[in-house]
Chains A and B, each alone.
Chain A
Amino acid sequence: MFSYQKSVAIMGTVIDAGTEDLFYNDMASVYVQYAKKAQANSEPETIVKGDTRITVNRVDETDDGKDFIIYQNYNTKALINRTAFSNSKRCVVQDTIPTFNWKLESDKKRIGLYDCQKATMTFRCANYTVWFTTAIPLSIGPAKLSGLPGLIVEAYNERADMTYKLLIVNYPTSTKTYKIAPPYLGDPVYSYEAYRKIEVVEQDKMMKFLSGSADALPGTKPVVNFPECLDGK
């Protein structure tokens, strides 16, 4: 088990978004955002900064008591993701494990016990900067990230200003177990393309609502930072 602490920076203010766990075996992995953790983190935050913008962070609400899960099968290359539309309706999206075009950088730093090296890439409009360690030769990381010759210890999504930091490594896991299986928990199942079409419409609705409802300082406008864009780039 690998635990990551997720945090989101909102106009320079870093908000703790809870701890998420990665469970792995040779064939597959699940990355879990726990329902109870999300509840403990109270309300989605709306932060107002005293200049011309308001940034609203989208915190996925898992108040139906079921976890959000990213399942990856390394044999079939299937990536099955239990997530939510912007209208909070839950769904399961069938995707494939992406092939990330990692660029290895020569920068190195020590994080905790591990010597880490920097790598960068762009996926669905988001620029990622990660630090991985070859001391743990597992090609895995937080959320959907993978494909490096070692475990990702720290990852930064520039688009969402979101950071994952490795908190606890316990492998093979001795403290916590989780069923590594596709997250078919009764939600409607969509292909990625079908999900994308619906979500484009839902995000547009959400933006219209936020631009009217953000009770912010004069001269503010909402910016919603999604970790991925939907235009397929």
Chain B
Amino acid sequence: MRLILFLIALQPCLCAFAQTALRGQVVAATTRQPIESAYVTAGILPDSVVVAFARTGAAGEFTLSYGRDAGKSYYLSISHISYRTVVQPLPADAKNPIDIGMESGSLVLNEVQVTARIPVREQGDSTRYKVDAFRNGSEQTLEEVLKKMPNVRVEENGDIFFKNKRIEKVLLDGDNLIGNAYQLATRSINPAVLNEVQAIERYSDNKLLRGVEESNQTVLNLTVKGDRKKLLFGSIDAGGGPQRYNGSGNLFSYTKRIKAFAVLSANNTGIRRLDLSDAQASVLPDDRPSSEQLVRPFTQTAQPFVRNLNLPLENLNNERVGTLNMTYNPVKKLKITANLSLMQDRVQAGRFQSYRLIGDVPLTYQQADTLRQRPALAHLRVQADYDLSAETALLYRGTVGTKTIDLAQTTQFTTARVDTTDTRTVFPQQFTNQLQDSRHVLELTHKLNATNVFVLSAQVTRTQLTERYDARLNPVFAQTLFADSMASNRPFGQVVAQDNQLYVGQARWLYGTKTRKFEQQVGYHHNHFGADLTQQNGPVSIGNSVLTLTRQTLYSRTSGKLIWPLFELWGYTQLNHVSAETDGERETRNPVQANLTGSYKLGRLSRVILAYEHQAAVISNSYLLNRAVVTDFRSAQRGQSGLLFDTRDQLSLSYLFTDIALRRMTFFVTAFTVRSNTLWNFADLRFTPDFSISSLINTPNVQTNGLSSTLEKLVYPLSGNIRLLINVTQSQARQVVNGQERSTVSLMPSITAKYISVFESPLNMEVVATYRQTNLTATQIDQQFKQRFTAFTAYTTFFYRKKTWQAGLTAELSRIQQNDYFFLKANVNHQFTPRLSARLEAQNLLNQTSYRQLTITPTVVSAGVFPLLPRMTLLYAQYSF
């Protein structure tokens, strides 16, 4: 019985493979003309699956062979683009040729759009990356994912570059919740929460100016995954070890009207997530325009140190940083954004530096410092955007902030002049620099049509700086070294209070299409500056001093850009009317600034750039007119005083070749000529007892001609997996200063050989050796100064990679000017679950303690000894929620 059932069950299967051949002819129904290239298909109902097809020949004939399953019903379809499709049942026993007539009727197809899901998409000025497509699960932070994205590069300091242009700020879902100091965020955000990273070129902060304004700004916009947008989500990464800790956490909150993002971070492992290096800036404004085309004729040569180990110099810190950022949309037309940043650090370091000045008065001196620095910062920024209509918007931006730097320093100077050697010790000194600033901007934008926009803005800025100084000797070395009029070891203390107020009114008209950009600006600046110096005690009594300055500037700036497929031309002209007044004295000047640049595309990878630039920047201390303190040395010799401008004319011709994809190299060569009235204006405003600082090497009427070229990252395959990477920087410049010639010639080649193993195993290795040489010759007046040094570095890394385990061990040897450095570092990482991982990191295992660095400029040679971070071992845990 079982056998019979089996046979019954088998029967249809046997029939299924019965081959059938159908012959026939396809003709036009009305004319009986044969139809060529019609498709005859056999299909199974009800799914209309095609099982066989044939194409008709010149006589309309066809033969269709197919395997027929007796249990299924078949249809025959005959189709042609110029005829109506014929569908009829396909008889099981069609042994005779069949004749099929087709009615004419052309097929007209409407558009069908199939949207492809692609992780990288370019849409106009924005390039969108799907974050998940670039993750393999081992990435801890957004930065590690960014490094994998095509056209994105992340430098070691955390700066992000897109198409070789630096990202100026990072937005979160279109809102300024991260801002300019984005390293804190990109080094802590867990990439799992993000949907897209969007790189936006030619970005304008003002949305009504987009597409009209000629903007150079490139920003990144991060979008969060829709399913993660809830009340609270984020991640924590915390590590600890003997005497060391490093932790960071980020928290997001998304509700209907409020979006918030917060980062908290603390470490004492040398990581500087927020840099306060500009905290001691003067309150005087800097009028110098920034230009990408300006050539720096002299190459400052700093002795290269190995980057591989990421050992920061003199950075024994204790940093605590927190930011809280949020946007609030009470109504659709209004958006309020607030950013609060708090930061505190404690840095301790000792360093020794040796200087040799090769200026008009050659001398050498040594300086040994012990530093203890305590920077702190609090900063609040509020922005309100209100749309009056679709074409008109009002913006308010206000910031208030305070920065404090406490510095305790002990310094010892030893000087050697032609005839004498002198040693001075500066006893412990205390320095406090406290800056408070507030800024309010109101901006009204009206978009006339798609190409024309008007912007009116008003700005009020106030900056107050208080510097308190207590010491046992005036530390300003120029005073000590050259005047030599001070008595040593006397207590000295002073307080300087500066107050700078700036009022700006500005009107802009912008016109912009894809190939033409034009902008006209008219503005007025009113600047009021006051300084109040109180000497508390000192070896020479100078009493108290009050300075006031009022400066007014009226300017008109016209800029434009023309774009053709191969050629671009852009530039600006700025006409200024500047007047300054102090103690009843008044002076006016009318400086002009201009730039014209043309860029011609020779091919896909290369271009030539011809640029002319005329700069005129106020020498900042010359605001104070005829006060003795502010007249620079050379100008005084020439009988000049008062409101002085540093003017500079530059003509340069550059050739740029860059092939990042295959050759991975950039070659840039510039021939330039620069003429300036003051080359080095040592324009520091310092309130020391007798106000007598002036520039030592300020030399008027300087003409510089030169040629500089750079070859970056040429990759030369030696054999197999061994390759050479070559970098060469060459610069030469010749100057004529008051009829005397000075010149500098520098050449800095570097060659790296690299081998990477390609074993089919989790364990692999990398061996790298680098040889660098620095040559600089400076000839000045009658002195020739030559410097040449070499550095050799080799390192080997072993690494082990499995799906949930990764480990690495690096050994490095460096020989720099007879000094040897040897380092070891190691790391192990394990992923427990997609949300939880642990890792162990250890660095400087042999505990190297200090590093020597040599820096050369055409006028100064300095050598410094800096402390390195000590041996460190930390165990980390990372969790995301």
* Chain B residue at minimum C-beta to C-beta distance from A48: B148
Residue of A48, A111, A134 near B41 (CB, 8 A) is A134
Specify which chain B residues have a CB less than 8 angstroms from the CB of A216 in the assembled complex: 756
Q: A12-B133, A150-B39 are in contact. Are A114 and B756 (CB under 8 A)?
A: no
User: Is A212 a contact partner of B715 (Cβ separation < 8 A)?
Assistant: yes
- The answer, yes or no, to whether B302 is at the interface (CB within 8 Å) is no
Specify which chain B residues have a CB less than 8 angstroms from the CB of A163 in the assembled complex: 116
User: Is B136 a contact partner of A169 (Cβ separation < 8 A)?
Assistant: no
User: Is A169 a contact partner of B112 (Cβ separation < 8 A)?
Assistant: yes
User: Is A108 a contact partner of B49 (Cβ separation < 8 A)?
Assistant: yes
**Nearest Cβ distance between residue B64 and chain A, in whole angstroms?**
11
Q: Which of B442-450, B660-668, B862-870 contacts A (4 or more CB under 8 A)?
A: B660-668
Specify which chain A residues have a CB less than 8 angstroms from the CB of B53 in the assembled complex: 104, 148-149
Q: CB-defined interface of A198-224 with B at 8 Å, one 1/0 digit per residue?
A: 000000000011011101111111000
Q: A15-B150, A112-B112 are in contact. Are A137 and B79 (CB under 8 A)?
A: yes
Specify which chain B residues have a CB less than 8 angstroms from the CB of A165 in the assembled complex: 114, 116
Specify which chain A residues have a CB less than 8 angstroms from the CB of B758 in the assembled complex: 52, 219-221
Q: Which of B119-127, B633-641, B843-851 contacts A (4 or more CB under 8 A)?
A: B119-127
User: Is A212 a contact partner of B664 (Cβ separation < 8 A)?
Assistant: no
Determine the distance from Cα of A148 to Cα of B79 in the docked complex, in whole angstroms: 12
* Chain A residue at minimum C-beta to C-beta distance from B659: A43
A108-161 contacts to B (CB < 8 Å): 108, 111-115, 117, 134, 136-139, 148-150, 153-154
Determine the distance from Cα of A139 to Cα of B766 in the docked complex, in whole angstroms: 52
Number of residues of chain A lying within 8 A (CB) of chain B: 65
Residue of A15, A48, A208 near B120 (CB, 8 A) is A15
User: Is A63 a contact partner of B723 (Cβ separation < 8 A)?
Assistant: no
- The answer, yes or no, to whether B564 is at the interface (CB within 8 Å) is no
Number of residues of chain B lying within 8 A (CB) of chain A: 71
Q: A50-B136, A136-B107 are in contact. Are A112 and B113 (CB under 8 A)?
A: yes
- The answer, yes or no, to whether A46 is at the interface (CB within 8 Å) is yes
* Chain B residue at minimum C-beta to C-beta distance from A114: B112
Specify which chain B residues have a CB less than 8 angstroms from the CB of A44 in the assembled complex: 661-662
Q: A16-B122, A104-B50, A220-B756 are in contact. Are A149 and B41 (CB under 8 A)?
A: yes
**Nearest Cβ distance between residue B570 and chain A, in whole angstroms?**
22
User: Is B48 a contact partner of A215 (Cβ separation < 8 A)?
Assistant: no
User: Is A213 a contact partner of B662 (Cβ separation < 8 A)?
Assistant: yes
Which of B41, B112, B716 lies at the interface centre, i.e. has the most chain A CB atoms within 10 A of its CB? B112
Specify which chain B residues have a CB less than 8 angstroms from the CB of A113 in the assembled complex: 112
Determine the distance from Cα of A139 to Cα of B107 in the docked complex, in whole angstroms: 14
Q: CB-defined interface of A32-43 with B at 8 Å, one 1/0 digit per residue?
A: 000000011111
Specify which chain A residues have a CB less than 8 angstroms from the CB of B766 in the assembled complex: 218-219
**Nearest Cβ distance between residue B592 and chain A, in whole angstroms?**
39
Determine the distance from Cα of A217 to Cα of B756 in the docked complex, in whole angstroms: 8
Determine the distance from Cα of A12 to Cα of B660 in the docked complex, in whole angstroms: 22
- The answer, yes or no, to whether A185 is at the interface (CB within 8 Å) is no
**Nearest Cβ distance between residue A51 and chain B, in whole angstroms?**
7
- The answer, yes or no, to whether B320 is at the interface (CB within 8 Å) is no
- The answer, yes or no, to whether B93 is at the interface (CB within 8 Å) is no
User: Is A7 a contact partner of B756 (Cβ separation < 8 A)?
Assistant: no
Determine the distance from Cα of A26 to Cα of B660 in the docked complex, in whole angstroms: 44
**Nearest Cβ distance between residue B473 and chain A, in whole angstroms?**
53
User: Is B148 a contact partner of A166 (Cβ separation < 8 A)?
Assistant: no
Specify which chain A residues have a CB less than 8 angstroms from the CB of B108 in the assembled complex: 171-172
Specify which chain A residues have a CB less than 8 angstroms from the CB of B114 in the assembled complex: 5, 111-112, 153-154, 165-167
- The answer, yes or no, to whether B4 is at the interface (CB within 8 Å) is no
Residue of A166, A168, A171, A212 near B720 (CB, 8 A) is A212
Determine the distance from Cα of A137 to Cα of B80 in the docked complex, in whole angstroms: 6
- The answer, yes or no, to whether A177 is at the interface (CB within 8 Å) is no
B581-620 contacts to A (CB < 8 Å): 603-604
**Nearest Cβ distance between residue B117 and chain A, in whole angstroms?**
8
- The answer, yes or no, to whether B718 is at the interface (CB within 8 Å) is yes
**Nearest Cβ distance between residue A180 and chain B, in whole angstroms?**
15
* Chain B residue at minimum C-beta to C-beta distance from A39: B604
- The answer, yes or no, to whether A74 is at the interface (CB within 8 Å) is yes
Q: A212-B720, A213-B663 are in contact. Are A218 and B797 (CB under 8 A)?
A: yes
User: Is A134 a contact partner of B723 (Cβ separation < 8 A)?
Assistant: no
**Nearest Cβ distance between residue B719 and chain A, in whole angstroms?**
7
- The answer, yes or no, to whether A47 is at the interface (CB within 8 Å) is yes
User: Is B37 a contact partner of A14 (Cβ separation < 8 A)?
Assistant: no
- The answer, yes or no, to whether A49 is at the interface (CB within 8 Å) is yes
User: Is A168 a contact partner of B37 (Cβ separation < 8 A)?
Assistant: no
- The answer, yes or no, to whether A76 is at the interface (CB within 8 Å) is no
User: Is B661 a contact partner of A218 (Cβ separation < 8 A)?
Assistant: no
Determine the distance from Cα of A5 to Cα of B120 in the docked complex, in whole angstroms: 13
Specify which chain A residues have a CB less than 8 angstroms from the CB of B119 in the assembled complex: 13-15
- The answer, yes or no, to whether A101 is at the interface (CB within 8 Å) is no
Determine the distance from Cα of A108 to Cα of B45 in the docked complex, in whole angstroms: 13
**Nearest Cβ distance between residue B397 and chain A, in whole angstroms?**
35
Determine the distance from Cα of A209 to Cα of B715 in the docked complex, in whole angstroms: 10
- The answer, yes or no, to whether A61 is at the interface (CB within 8 Å) is yes
- The answer, yes or no, to whether A191 is at the interface (CB within 8 Å) is no
Which of A15, A46, A213 lies at the interface centre, i.e. has the most chain B CB atoms within 10 A of its CB? A213
Q: A15-B118, A149-B41 are in contact. Are A47 and B663 (CB under 8 A)?
A: no
- The answer, yes or no, to whether B722 is at the interface (CB within 8 Å) is yes
**Nearest Cβ distance between residue B807 and chain A, in whole angstroms?**
13
Residue of B47, B51, B148, B757 near A218 (CB, 8 A) is B757
Specify which chain A residues have a CB less than 8 angstroms from the CB of B720 in the assembled complex: 211-212
| A–B complex contacts, Cβ < 8 Å, 27 sampled | A13-B120, A14-B119, A14-B133, A26-B81, A42-B151, A52-B758, A61-B604, A104-B50, A113-B112, A137-B79, A139-B37, A139-B39, A149-B55, A149-B79, A150-B39, A150-B79, A208-B717, A211-B721, A212-B715, A213-B717, A215-B715, A217-B756, A218-B765, A219-B765, A219-B766, A220-B756, A221-B721
Where the two chains meet, the residues of A that have a C-beta atom closer than 8 Å to any C-beta of B are: 5, 7, 12-16, 26, 39-52, 61, 63, 74, 104, 106, 108, 111-115, 117, 134, 136-139, 148-150, 153-154, 163, 165-172, 208-209, 211-213, 215-221
Q: A15-B120, A167-B113, A215-B664 are in contact. List 18 more A-B contacts (CB 8 A).
A: A13-B120, A13-B134, A14-B133, A42-B163, A43-B151, A43-B660, A45-B661, A47-B150, A50-B801, A106-B49, A108-B47, A137-B85, A171-B108, A209-B662, A209-B717, A213-B662, A215-B725, A216-B756
Q: Shortest 4 CB-CB distances between A and B: which pairs? A: A212-B717, A219-B764, A137-B79, A218-B766
